[in-house]
Homo-oligomer: A and B are copies of this chain.
Amino acid sequence: MGVMERVAPRRKKAIAPVEIEADRLLRGDCIAEMAKLPDACIDMIFADPPYNLQLGGDLFRPEGGRVDAVDNDWDKFDTLGSYDRFTKTWLAQARRILKPNGSIWVIGSYHNIFRVGTALQDEGFWILNDIIWRKSNPMPNFKGTRFTNAHETLIWASQGEDAKYTFNYKAMKTLNDELQMRSDWVLPICGGQERLKRNGTKAHPTQKPEALLYRVLLACTKPGDVVLDPFFGTGTTGAVAKRLGRRWIGIEREDSYIEVAMERIEAALPLDESALTIMQSAKGQPKVAFGTLVETGYLQPGTELMDTRRRWRAVVRADGSLSVGNDSGSIHKMGATLQGAPSCNGWTFWHYEAEGGLKPIDALRQTYLLANEP
């Protein structure tokens, strides 16, 4: 690769997202097929690129070039260089068709993931996390010459440092028993009934488990979003997208995989809407102003509020501000001021006297929402 300067392509002007026909499979080479799609039409890309050049690199060999097994220096340069050119080319297309607020996931192993990560950064993508898929049942290292290769790596990236992206924080936290979802995911490999077979042998050598795609799509897309998988294979991405109420576009050039994929997706059942509803992060929920609680009578002006340890006290005023001595302000501002902190969530900081002890004013907001929201 060498010492290429970082070239961070920046979009000159805002690009309007484009609606596109989805739930379909494009037969052909992923670079050629992506090239036919319009700019900014995809909400998320999930890619599981090949890392042997038999599949991906042929196009990028020098004209008439043939690998000479003897000339090792040239072979090495050509091999890594070809793979890098292949990666750079499909990533450039991916970047073009991805919406400004979209994000991309790429999965790989140590054979190729460092090339991919470097190319992502060089193209201007901004890495948000690297995720470790920790396999609960990996294949052992039979010869005992290395550590058991028990994981694969996924990279999650946005369009740039300041780009927005979808992250369903609360849904992930819920999925993980009310603890933040971490960057290491323990999931079994794809086997058993889930593993697709053709004539008794596995239909695809690297079929990914649906549970992996389930978590990726649940975390980073909204219902109705369009998900593109440029290396579709047997269509795990499509099947899970359908199940989760997302739309999908797959690109694949092997007829045998396409056949299996379409059959599989046809048979997949969408979850009904109630099951699809995910825990909303507080961001995006209908907002309730503290003043609303006062004017609707949930909290009387004059009520005294305090922190859990009754160290500070404030009085609710008719306009929804709090007063402490001669000072007054919002629930957040007063909480921050009293603690000498840069910020404070007033909803959880302030409490009111209730039967059985102090309760946070956030409980009142929940009560209000239950009674007043559809």
Assess whether A113 is interfacial by the CB under 8 Å rule.
yes
Q: A279 to B129, Cβ gap below 8 A?
A: no
Contacts of A80 in B (CB 8 A): 4-7, 121-122
Assess whether A14 is interfacial by the CB under 8 Å rule.
no
Among B54, B72, B120, B172, contact of A8 (Cβ-Cβ < 8 Å): B72
Assess whether A256 is interfacial by the CB under 8 Å rule.
no
The stretch that binds B, out of A17-25, A30-38, A60-68, A94-102, is A60-68
Q: A64 to B341, Cβ gap below 8 A?
A: yes
Q: Per-position contact with B for A150-164: 1 when CB-CB < 8 Å, else 0?
A: 110101100000000
Assess whether A194 is interfacial by the CB under 8 Å rule.
yes
The docked-state distance in angstroms from the alpha carbon of A9 to that of B129 is 33
Greatest chain B CB density within 10 A among A140, A176, A209 is at A176
Contacts of A109 in B (CB 8 A): 130
Q: B175 to A323, Cβ gap below 8 A?
A: no
Contacts of A67 in B (CB 8 A): 5
The residues in A between 115 and 139 inclusive whose CB is less than 8 angstroms from any CB of B are 115-122, 124, 127-132, 134, 136-138
Q: B319 to A122, Cβ gap below 8 A?
A: no
Assess whether A88 is interfacial by the CB under 8 Å rule.
yes
Assess whether A3 is interfacial by the CB under 8 Å rule.
yes
Assess whether A271 is interfacial by the CB under 8 Å rule.
yes
The residues in A between 42 and 93 inclusive whose CB is less than 8 angstroms from any CB of B are 50-55, 60, 62-64, 66-67, 69, 72-73, 75-76, 79-81, 83-85, 88
Assess whether A236 is interfacial by the CB under 8 Å rule.
no
The residues in A between 284 and 315 inclusive whose CB is less than 8 angstroms from any CB of B are 289-292, 294-297, 300-302, 315
**Chain B nearest Cβ from A121, distance in angstroms:** 6
Q: A145 to B132, Cβ gap below 8 A?
A: no
Among B69, B85, B118, B342, contact of A118 (Cβ-Cβ < 8 Å): B118
Q: A275 to B182, Cβ gap below 8 A?
A: no
Which residue in chain B gives the minimum CB-CB distance to A70? B8
Contacts of A148 in B (CB 8 A): 180-183
Count identical subunits in the complex.
2
A110-B1 CB under 8 A given contacts A147-B183, A279-B319, A295-B175:
no
Q: Per-position contact with B for A202-214: 1 when CB-CB < 8 Å, else 0?
A: 0001100111001
Assess whether A199 is interfacial by the CB under 8 Å rule.
no
A174-B244 CB under 8 A given contacts A112-B4, A124-B76, A151-B132:
no
Q: B130 to A110, Cβ gap below 8 A?
A: yes
Q: A301 to B276, Cβ gap below 8 A?
A: yes
Which residue in chain B gives the minimum CB-CB distance to A291? B175
Assess whether A370 is interfacial by the CB under 8 Å rule.
yes
**Chain B nearest Cβ from A267, distance in angstroms:** 14
Q: B341 to A63, Cβ gap below 8 A?
A: yes
A110-B81 CB under 8 A given contacts A176-B291, A289-B177:
no
Q: B121 to A175, Cβ gap below 8 A?
A: no
A interface residues with partner B (beta carbon < 8 Å): 1-10, 50-55, 60, 62-64, 66-67, 69, 72-73, 75-76, 79-81, 83-85, 88, 109-122, 124, 127-132, 134, 136-138, 140-141, 144-151, 153, 155-156, 167-178, 180-184, 186-188, 194, 205-206, 209-211, 214-215, 218-219, 244, 271-272, 274-279, 281, 289-292, 294-297, 300-302, 315-321, 323, 326-328, 330, 333, 336, 339-345, 370-374
Q: What are 15 A-B contacts with C-beta separation under 8 Å?
A: A1-B50, A1-B51, A1-B52, A5-B75, A5-B80, A134-B184, A147-B182, A171-B319, A177-B290, A178-B330, A188-B372, A215-B295, A271-B301, A271-B318, A277-B318
